Structure 1
């Protein structure tokens, strides 16, 4: 059924190599905080995983903290950094298309601590202007957080330019890279960020494990107190087996990245070109260039067809999994994508949109099957429409 899965941005299948090393690691059952040999064996596994993942991200091992995933990492970096400004005025800058774990955390922290946040708009293809971020900076700005790649449209943001501007002003800069890590090369020194969040289940690794890179020049306050793990900043017994799987997922992603991304860009253009022949007024939500969008992500609007209905038909009739966008919406009653709203799409355009996301296991046969099923589905829906 993996070949019928086109929702990789939601989560990814576990890579067989990852599954293999995790199965082998089940005997590593000790607590890494224990001082006996069984515990030390588990500790060695955690140390090795940290070194491997740090090498993948090109950072130092002592700059990498393990978490349960991107949402926790985002919460921690915002609260853990802004907590130092409690009781005094502070300002933060972000964007209108951030993941809810960033947007809602910023709003919560501002309400509870008396700060302010400026959410910078995007243009019609979902891009954030670095200059608008810079223009939003104030004398009391303490934090800037902008995602590296958007989960709904795949748009890659100008993080290096924003990071350079933040650094020149002494402002802490964080990027949510959950959708980017494993799908594009990440070189932290070139990126220039002070902190970066990621989730392993987005790159064919296990769920429930992720991480946060923090430049050693900065210190966060703990989000979870009590046990002293993660260099005293994130308490909780380490998920040893999943961390071993996480390191393997990063190794495989690094090894296969160039090949996978090249094939996915080819599939992306093939799908869009073929669908445009079937639907001449097809709307592509986001840019198409290889330097400004993820290879695996397609967000399209098909006029006259409800995205929810199309996704359900593809699933029930053909076993194909696609998404209608984020379930976390600023308009819960209508469940409209706030990302597409901020790009200027109207309600009908948003309701007609679906997200198609591919990954490491997608192949030519899968794409051919998907296109055949899409053609059948379009004929079905347009035939059923009242004339």
Structure 2
């Protein structure tokens, strides 16, 4: 039984789970003792360090179990962006190659794209940015053609945060491994929503993010396959296998572990199917009420069960949401000094500016209900009529 969430009572319908998830009350309950009673340093040899150390080990095992890894292969970080930085910088700075080569794709999260640009600028790394097709997917043949003898790392996200598009990670990783390079996957949006077994996918590094799976902000993890060498991100006392020094945030690690265990249970009990059914119901309501005017951005099937990205003819996404105050959702556009620019993800997929500016990202999650879908559809249709 999922407990009610106090933060969602009486507010707008929340359809922005891809931005951040509400912290599950069961996760809060798990972490609270480590904010007060169990205050010890997990590195301490006396009794006050015992419970924090045990809790940290358990959390590592819970995260590992979600993705089919060994506990020793989990490194806790302060965020998904930090995990991405550790993966990219760690591989490149430990590579024994003159002018290392990295491959990523144009619709990656900024945590990967900006790290790649920094590696180009600061370390002379060569980076190839692969294009995507109209569905937002990387062509495996394009990856194969881009690999060189200097390629040390390929980084491609599992699921796009705007469209939910699922990349063919296992195929991309297989091509990369056959060439002798490492493969990193940012699974921020995917972990806990769909199965992400690292052995089945064949990835070497994988990013997990707490606040995308009902844990608090400020905690993430990087799976590092045994035997993969990384340069440390933070130097110091040797915590987290020497890759991220600093006394561990035990409470947040415990929260991520609890969230991972809950997510694993939901993957097994069919929760993703329930959420996908609600997503499709919302899409049908909008499409039936506005025939020929509602356009799905991305693939109908190969996407996250939680994500619906649509454009409505004749309406701008930010104007629709402003006219629907009972709904909390997102657009893919960015606002700079009152001027809205289309989503780089959607334009990379070939959408024209009008359709990209009209996009809405409606993302569902654990507490989404049929009543929420009805309310959201009514609010959007009223807003569309008013505009």
TM-score by length of 1: 0.93
**Residues 341, 357 of structure 2: 8 Å contact kept:** no
- Is 1:321 the counterpart of 2:332? The answer is no
**Residues 196, 212 of structure 1: 8 Å contact kept:** yes
- Is 1:367 the counterpart of 2:373? The answer is yes
Q: Secondary structure at the match of 2:324?
A: helix
- Is 1:21 the counterpart of 2:30? The answer is yes
**Residues 152, 326 of structure 1: 8 Å contact kept:** no
The one of 61, 69, 82 equivalent to 2:79 is 69
Q: 1: distance between equivalents of 2:144 and 2:191? A: 25
| CA shift for structure 1 position 19 | 1.6
Unaligned runs of at least 5 residues, structure 2 = 1-6
| CA shift for structure 1 position 358 | 0.3
What's 1:384 paired with?
none
**Residues 30, 42 of structure 1: 8 Å contact kept:** yes
Q: Secondary structure at the match of 1:372?
A: helix
| CA shift for structure 1 position 247 | 1.0
What's 2:56 paired with?
46
Q: 2: distance between equivalents of 1:306 and 1:327? A: 12
TM-score by length of 2: 0.93
| CA shift for structure 1 position 328 | 9.8
**Residues 151, 179 of structure 1: 8 Å contact kept:** yes
What's 2:285 paired with?
274
- Is 1:152 the counterpart of 2:162? The answer is yes
| CA shift for structure 1 position 33 | 1.7
Q: 2: distance between equivalents of 1:46 and 1:84? A: 27
What's 2:356 paired with?
350
Unaligned runs of at least 5 residues, structure 1 = 382-387
Q: Secondary structure at the match of 2:300?
A: coil
| CA shift for structure 1 position 84 | 2.6
**Residues 147, 179 of structure 2: 8 Å contact kept:** no
| CA shift for structure 1 position 313 | 2.2
How has the CA–CA distance of structure 1 residues 56 and 356 changed in structure 2, closer, same or farther, with 3 Å as cutoff? Answer: same
| CA shift for structure 1 position 278 | 2.1
Q: Secondary structure at the match of 1:221?
A: coil
Q: 2: distance between equivalents of 1:328 and 1:116? A: 31
Q: 1: distance between equivalents of 2:127 and 2:175? A: 18
Deviates further, 22-31 or 174-183 = 22-31
Structure 1, residues 145-180: CA drift from partner, whole Å, max 9, x if none?
A: 111100000000001001111111110110111000
Q: Secondary structure at the match of 1:25?
A: helix
**Residues 13, 204 of structure 1: 8 Å contact kept:** yes
| CA shift for structure 1 position 86 | 7.4
Q: 2: distance between equivalents of 1:42 and 1:24? A: 10
Q: Secondary structure at the match of 2:215?
A: coil
The one of 253, 270, 274 equivalent to 1:259 is 270
What's 2:230 paired with?
220
Q: 2: distance between equivalents of 1:376 and 1:333? A: 25
What's 2:4 paired with?
none
What's 1:178 paired with?
188
What's 1:229 paired with?
239
What's 1:96 paired with?
106
Report how many aligned residue pairs link the two structures.
Answer: 375
Q: Secondary structure at the match of 1:314?
A: coil
**Residues 100, 328 of structure 1: 8 Å contact kept:** no
**Residues 322, 357 of structure 1: 8 Å contact kept:** yes
Q: 2: distance between equivalents of 1:115 and 1:372? A: 51
Q: 1: distance between equivalents of 2:108 and 2:184? A: 12
| CA shift for structure 1 position 87 | 7.5
